[in-house]
Structures are given as C-alpha cells and as structure tokens.
Structure 1
Amino acid sequence: MRAFKNIKNIFFIGIGGIGMSSLARYFNQNGFAVSGYDRTKTDLIQNLEKEGVQFIDEFNKEMLQEFSKEETLVVYTAAINVNNPFLKYFSEQNFECLKRAKVLGEITTGTPTLAVAGTHGKTTTSAMLAFMLYKAGLKVTGFLGGILNNFNSNYISTGSDIFVVEADEFDRSFMSLSPTHACIIAMDPDHLDVYETKRAFEKTFIDFAQKVTSKDQIFISEEIDLEGKKISLNSNNTDVYIENISIKNRHFYFDYASEDIQLRNIQSNLPGRHNVLNSAMALSLAISYAPEHAQVYADALSDFEGIQRRFNKVIDTDELILIDDYAHHPKEIEAVLDAVNDLYPDEKKSVIFQSHLYTRTRDFADEFIEVLNGFDEVNLLEIYPAREEPIEGINAKFLYDKITSEKYIIEKEEIKDKVFKNKNRIILMLGAGDIGLEVQKLLKNIAL
C-alpha cells in the first residue's frame, strides 16, 4: 500500500458500481475508512454497509467538511459527470481525485498482475481465473466485474502475491494497468462514443498488448491479429487449443492442450462454446503463472458456479425457463443465443431486450437487427441511456421497424405478463441497464 501511505480515508463517487465496489472492499479490508456516494441503495451497497462501509445518497457539504484533504483520497468512475456536486466540491477544495482505473493501476503495479481484456468475456474469465488460483491455495486478490456466485461477492482475497484484474477498454481504462500476464478474448468494436473509429479502438488494444513484456505471457484468440500465444477451439494449429468438445446432461466437456500441458475431460457448468473459450483463457493465464497447479485449475471449473447476470437460469421448471444475462453488444447476444440453442435446440425462444446507450444502438443497428431476428419473439424495452443524452430518431421503435420476427415494444409493467403468459417456454431477459432489477422484481413477486 506504498502508493497511499499517508491516506486514511477513501471516498468513492459512484460506490455502487461493480468495479468501484470491489475496490472499496479492498481498501476496507486493508484498514482504510471507506465511504461513498451513489444515487440509490442497492443490495450491493447494503452488503457494503454490513462490511463497515459508510454510504450516503445525497450531497451534504457539512459532512464532507469532516474529511481532511491531506488524509483523504477521492475515487470516481469514468462515467461520473464533471458537474457532479461531490466531484466539484472535492476538486475545488484541492483533494486528490483519481479515476478508478488509475487507483487500480497504483495498487497492482510492481506485483504479478493477470489482466483479462476483450470486448466480451472479461468478467466471466477473470472470475474463473481468480477462482482457480484461490482453489490452488495461492495468495490472490481478484477485482471482479460481476458477483461471483460461489462467494456472493465481486472481490476475492487470500493475500496479495498476485492480482487478477478485469482490463476494461472503456475510456481506455486498461492503459493504467501494468500487467505481467494478459489475455485478449475479443476485439469487436464498442464504445465508439469514446473511440469514434474502429481503427482507434483497435489501436488501443495494440497498445495494451505491448504492455506485457513477454509474448509468452499474453494469450490471444485465434482470429485476433496481435502477437502472442494463440488459442482456438477445435484446431491444433495454435499454441493452445481445445478439442473434443461435447455436451452431456447440459454440461460442457472438453480437452485442453498446449506444448507442455494436456488436461482431459474438463467439466464446465457454464453453457455455450464462448464459455469454453473463456475457460481456455483462464486456464492458460493460471498455468502461465503457476503451471504446477494445472490439474487443480481444471478441476476447479466443475465447482465454478458462474457470475450473476451471466446466463443465470433464474427460473428453471417444466413450464418456464427464464434466463437473465448482461448481454448488450450484438456479439454477446449472439453468444447467448448460440448457447441456448445448444441446450434447447427444438424449442422456440422469446427475448426481452433493453438496449444500452443511444450511440451503441445507432452504431451497431444492423448487427442488433440480425441477431435479434434469431429469436422467435422479440420484446423491446426503451433504450437505457446511462450517461448519454437522447439522439433524435434512436429509440426502441428504431429497432422495432427493422425486426422481422414477431415483435413488440413493451413497458416495464408488461414484463410480468410477457414472462408468465408467454406461449414460448424459453425466455431471455438481456441488457446492461436496469433490466436486471426487473428480473429481481419478478423473483420477489414469486416469493410472495
């Protein structure tokens, strides 16, 4: 903790964010007085409070005056508006204010750091990786981008010999990291509101890859044109490859092979071939750090229970299967659809989709249309704006007019009937906005 040796208090602006809250847990565990602001008290924030973190949900200048600028670090997310009253106050009072990515970089620099990058798959892969190292008894700290079902937490820590981080490309955040090992799962363009062009997006990934000094310690999906060890499914022409993929009793089984390591009949509880690739990435990173535990890592996959909002079967009965997933990019939706088709090939599927960001909806409209047309029924909620202002003509109807499947534009109040009175048994609720909260409302109604 040498980077923050004079700091006693950590104040988070946006503490309820999944990345911010894992960082808050780290500082809280290490003896700092942790507090923070967010707009609403979610279940995650309530858990933070139980752990000793102080939460406030409104601006209170008198309370903030209790903080000493010499002993307080202010952490904020890239999504926070510059006019946020907390950020304005602390900046005007000359407090040290750092973006979350910068703080994460300060913590991990100088220690072996395994970074998981890619437009898709980061959260699941980094969680798998941290879980493998944990099961091997290594002293690992993992900052996760989702709630790991095994621990009901987005933070794992048994020591600080090694860090596992999710290397986020948004706002070029991952450029603050100094990884010793890394993987890049996918490079499909995204966040064009930040990067503007596909070329600029790809250039940043190239720059990130160059941060890893040894090309034997960076693993790249086969189709990505970057230097490193290549990983593929069902092809033995790469440095690492997965073969003999099969599905038995709705579990995936596969073999892992590299020049030095062969692992057979690995069981994964996670659906979809994309998660087989994620598993291969996690295994490769873990093995590159401590190869003597290779079999332990492989065995750990059968105990890995997944991440909340990543293909979670929240209802699984003979009458209804409801799957909740964070998918918000066309490629992610495609992966989820492929997975559900693998598991239920002969059944029709309905989707309730909430697009995330006006710019993403506009920039990838054709891709969204193509993948949504793969469902038998499409129900569209209005776009979740997050940090953005509306764009004229970009809304749910913009997508609706182009979809050729059976389609509806619905309000949140209609979700319950769309789920429980649907003619199709397989229903997916997809999106990165507040649709996840709607899933929780459904489940609470059932409990009542």
Structure 2
Amino acid sequence: MTEQTSTDVPEALRRAHLIGIGGAGMSGIARILLARGARVSGSDAKDSRAFLTLRAQGAEIAVGQHADNLDALPGGPSAVVVSTAIRETNPELVAARERGIPVLHRAEALAGLMEGHRVACIAGTHGKTSTTSMLTVALQQCRLDPSFAIGGDLNESGANAHHGEGGVFVAEADESDGSFLTYSPSVAVVTNIEPDHLDHHGTAEAYVAVFAEFARRIEPGGVLIVCGDDAPAAELAARAEADGVRVRRYGRSAGGEGDACVLAYVPGEDGGTARISLGGEEIEVRVAVPGEHMAFNAVAALLAGLELGAPVDGLIQGLAAFGGVRRRFEFKGRAGDVRVYDDYAHHPTEVAAQLKAVRHAAGLGRVVVVFQPHLYSRTRAFSREFAEALGLADEVVVLDVYGAREEPEPGVTGELVAREITGANVHYEPAFDRAVGLAADLVKPGDLLVTMGAGDVTQLGPEILTELDRRGE
C-alpha cells in the first residue's frame, strides 16, 4: 500500500497503531485512516466482527495485547491512539511511552481527520448516536457524501464510519470523558443535558459545565442547535446567545426565527410522524423508527442538515429512509408470535423513553424486558430512577451489573434496581447463563421482548429466539 501524503491524513497518523481497535470509536477511526491511505495496525483483547472489514482494507490486527504488536508496521507507528478505556498499565501503551512514540487520545485523532472539512458534531446525554446517524443518512440522500464517525453501525450500510468526498464531516461527540472539547464544529447539536458519567465528571454541576465549554468551541459564525424543551439545554442556548453564538431551537417550545416548532407527533404502526412549523411553513417529518424521542432527533438532524446547505426536501426524504442503528431498538427476530428486539438504553431517561415506544409497538401484547445495569457507579447513583423506568414494562428480568471499565463495588448489584421496581413482575437473575431460560419461561404468544443495556446483554436475544424455537418444535 502506498503511504498517503495528502493533507487528508495528519503526518502523525500516517502510520497509526490503535489500541482497542475493535471498539466502536476506534474501529471508525481505523476505517477512515485506511480509506485515506494511511498504514494502520491495532490490537484488542478479543476478536471482533469489525476485524474482517479492517483486515480486508489492509490493517494489521493482533488479538491479545503485547508490546511487540507495535512492530507490525514497517518503521513502527508514527503515533499510538488510545481511548479513555485503555489503562496506563496496558503493555502496548507502556512500550509506546518507553520508546517515545507520540500517544494520542481517540478524540485527538478524530479531530485531526476533521481538518479541512465543515464539521457537524452531535452531543447530548441521550440520542446523539441516533441523531448523528439520521443526519448522515439524510445527507447521503442529498448526495453530499459526508465523512462520518458514529458510535453505532448504520443499518443501511453496516458501517460506523466512512471517508466521504463531500467536504462535510459528521461526528458523534462524546461527553463521557470530556474529550469532545477537542473538536471545533461549525454546527453543534445538543439534544439534552442530564447528569451522567459522574465517575469521570464527579458532580452534576461539572457535567453540565462541560457542555458550556463545548458550546464555546463552536467556530466563529457557527451555530448551536438545541432542544428548547430540555431546560438545561435551553439554559445552555441562552448563555451561548449572550456570548454571540447563533442558536436554533427545536421542540414544542421552539418558535423563534429559524426554529423548528413541533406541533404534533403521531405514532404509526412502523415509526411515527412529527408535524413541524419551519420558516412559517408546516411540514411533516416521518421516521421509520418508533418513539417520539426519535422524531425529535430527526428534527434536530433536519436543522443541522439545513445549516450544512442540504435542501429541505432531500433531507425529509432521507430521514424517512433512515432504517435505524444497530442496537437501537434493533429487531432480532420472531419465534412464533413473540418478537425480540435489542436496545442500547443504559440511562433511566433512555430506558423510560424506549419503553414508552416499545409499549406502542407491542400493541395488545405484553412488554418483557431483560435489563442489564451498566457501570457500578451509574447503578448506585440511579437505582431508583432505573426502577421507576423499568416499571413501565409488564415483566422485568434484571441481570447483574456489567462493570465495563469499573471495579466491583460492595453491595452494588442488579438487586439494587430489582427490589425497587413496582408496577411490573420482577425477577432478579444474577447468573447470566440462566437468563435465557428464564426469559423463555416468561414470554407468551403476542409478547414483545427487548434485551436492554450497554453491555453483553446484546448476546441474549438470538439465544432466546433459539430457545423459543426449540420449545416450539
């Protein structure tokens, strides 16, 4: 492969080694680097479905992390890219520092790839992956061929990232570790602000404050797009306007010049439609994924697309064609009269919003949820709120906590959530391998079952379908 000399690839990234290359963010960066002609190597603790595509594009990938993985590229890497999840004791990171190889955070690498593009960054506690994905698909429908980096795979293409030729870069901006402060967008969207990731930010006030810093990163002449119905986001918008930033709002309370006022939302059998007032004209925005919150995300994407110069008719057609994101109410299959879905919701507000949409999709059937809490710190902080949200279902199976990057905390288990749930039949099952049989026992013909959480609960949907098929033979 010929090494890229174009300014499309920053010099430091022309030979890049990515630790944790199988992750959603890291694999996306690798895809774009490879498409632009860079040499890429990487490693991860276990195999990933992303490796097949990356290897086909020319990446050198090792399963297992060892110092000698840094020698996969001729001449060694010009930079090593890491995410916050990579610990300082990682042998490849230790070796990189010992050898004096520059170490870049994932967000720094992505910011380098954004150079020379008009950048749209979508941030917010909830909905940023879906909104980023909707905007990307809508721009593609308008034939603008954006580059994009998203925290999930588009159902249309199966990809989480792409190098486009349209001069626009669309990116999901992750606030969890504050790394989105690396970006300087010309179009910034904040869907909502609700305290989360307190393991990093420490306090709710600090979490809210980082969004104010993000708004100050907007390029001169750029725009901030916010949901006016969300009080913290509305307050952010007011402060940004006082600082001279142009602001556009969407939501039921929006109504100023350039805003998109949501007049009504009508759910349908497959998705829903938002009727909005935009520039004195009433238009309909249809989304093929269920839930009012998804329709609001689509309106945010519409405003962002208009700011990027796309035509309104093309954007509306693109939003109607949006088929969803993997793990965002993703249909896994049907066994008899039981439908099984999988969803990434891992914050109480997300769980509640998705279960309201699930209730409509279930029709006359019951809603059965297999929920896996994510992070000990989040479970401890929001156990009561999780319980209230899960009470919207009919049957709830609560698994134990998926710790991810955190060490276990004494007394913090899924039972913290399960014992506070009211309004639903509750089953606490700490043994992951017994959850499949329990879920199969609970469902009845006509039910809708959804596995929910940000951890490995996603593995259970296909297994539940297999077990239901076996029992139905």
The residue type equivalent to 1:431 in the other structure is G
Equivalent residue for 1:358? Answer: 376
Of 437, 445, 448, 2:459 maps to 437
In structure 2, do the counterparts of structure 1 residues 321 and 391 end up closer, same or farther at CA, with 3 Å as the change threshold? same
Number of aligned residue pairs: 446
The residue type equivalent to 2:413 in the other structure is N
Superposed, which structure 2 residues align to 1:275-424 within 5 Å?
Answer: 275-291=294-310, 293-316=311-334, 319-404=337-422, 405-410=424-429, 411-424=431-444
In structure 2, do the counterparts of structure 1 residues 236 and 372 end up closer, same or farther at CA, with 3 Å as the change threshold? same
Of 237, 257, 260, 2:277 maps to 257
Whether the 8 Å CA contact 2:397–2:439 is kept in 1: the answer is no
Q: Distance in 1 between matches of 2:441 and 2:387?
A: 25
Whether the 8 Å CA contact 2:155–2:323 is kept in 1: the answer is yes
Q: Distance in 2 between matches of 1:446 and 1:343?
A: 21
Q: CA deviation at 1:178?
A: 0.6
Q: Distance in 2 between matches of 1:375 and 1:357?
A: 22
Please state if 1:122 is matched with 2:128: yes
Please state if 1:54 is matched with 2:74: no
Q: CA deviation at 1:123?
A: 0.6
The residue type equivalent to 1:125 in the other structure is T
The residue type equivalent to 2:398 in the other structure is L
Whether the 8 Å CA contact 2:439–2:464 is kept in 1: the answer is no
Equivalent residue for 2:92? Answer: 86
Please state if 1:221 is matched with 2:221: no
TM-score, length basis structure 2: 0.88
1:384 match: secondary structure:
coil
The residue type equivalent to 2:450 in the other structure is L
The residue type equivalent to 1:226 in the other structure is L
Q: CA deviation at 1:66?
A: 5.5
| Aligned-residue RMSD, C-alpha | 2.3
2:400 match: secondary structure:
strand
1:276 match: secondary structure:
helix
In structure 2, do the counterparts of structure 1 residues 69 and 402 end up closer, same or farther at CA, with 3 Å as the change threshold? farther
Identity across the alignment (%): 29
Whether the 8 Å CA contact 1:233–1:277 is kept in 2: the answer is no
Q: Distance in 2 between matches of 1:233 and 1:151?
A: 33
Q: Distance in 2 between matches of 1:21 and 1:444?
A: 30
Q: Distance in 1 between matches of 2:148 and 2:72?
A: 32
Q: Distance in 2 between matches of 1:44 and 1:442?
A: 24
Whether the 8 Å CA contact 1:234–1:243 is kept in 2: the answer is no
Deviations 1:367-416 (A, max 9, x none): 11211122222111110011111111101122222223321122222233
Whether the 8 Å CA contact 2:187–2:218 is kept in 1: the answer is yes
1:16 match: secondary structure:
coil
Q: CA deviation at 1:45?
A: 2.1
2:263 match: secondary structure:
strand
Whether the 8 Å CA contact 1:400–1:408 is kept in 2: the answer is yes
Superposed, which structure 2 residues align to 1:15-26 within 5 Å?
Answer: 15-26=21-32
Equivalent residue for 1:232? Answer: 251
Q: Distance in 1 between matches of 2:223 and 2:469?
A: 48
Equivalent residue for 2:244? Answer: none
In structure 2, do the counterparts of structure 1 residues 369 and 6 end up closer, same or farther at CA, with 3 Å as the change threshold? closer
1:37 match: secondary structure:
strand
1:266 match: secondary structure:
strand
Q: CA deviation at 1:310?
A: 0.1
Whether the 8 Å CA contact 1:6–1:70 is kept in 2: the answer is no
In structure 2, do the counterparts of structure 1 residues 86 and 335 end up closer, same or farther at CA, with 3 Å as the change threshold? same
Q: CA deviation at 1:108?
A: 1.3
Q: Distance in 2 between matches of 1:53 and 1:37?
A: 10
Stretches of structure 1 lacking an aligned partner (at least 5 in a row): none
Superposed, which structure 2 residues align to 1:192-211 within 5 Å?
Answer: 192-211=198-217
Stretches of structure 2 lacking an aligned partner (at least 5 in a row): 1-5, 238-246
Please state if 1:426 is matched with 2:448: yes
Whether the 8 Å CA contact 2:77–2:101 is kept in 1: the answer is no
Superposed, which structure 2 residues align to 1:99-138 within 5 Å?
Answer: 99-138=105-144
2:21 match: secondary structure:
coil
In structure 2, do the counterparts of structure 1 residues 380 and 71 end up closer, same or farther at CA, with 3 Å as the change threshold? closer
2:262 match: secondary structure:
strand
Superposed, which structure 2 residues align to 1:70-81 within 5 Å?
Answer: 72-81=78-87
In structure 2, do the counterparts of structure 1 residues 123 and 87 end up closer, same or farther at CA, with 3 Å as the change threshold? same
**Post-superposition, which runs of at least 4 consecutive aligned residues in structure 1 deviate over 4 A?**
66-71, 213-216, 234-238, 440-448
In structure 2, do the counterparts of structure 1 residues 26 and 421 end up closer, same or farther at CA, with 3 Å as the change threshold? same
The residue type equivalent to 1:281 in the other structure is A
Of the structure 1 ranges 109-118 and 280-289, higher mean CA displacement relative to structure 2 is found in: 109-118
Of 247, 255, 262, 2:267 maps to 247
Whether the 8 Å CA contact 1:109–1:178 is kept in 2: the answer is no
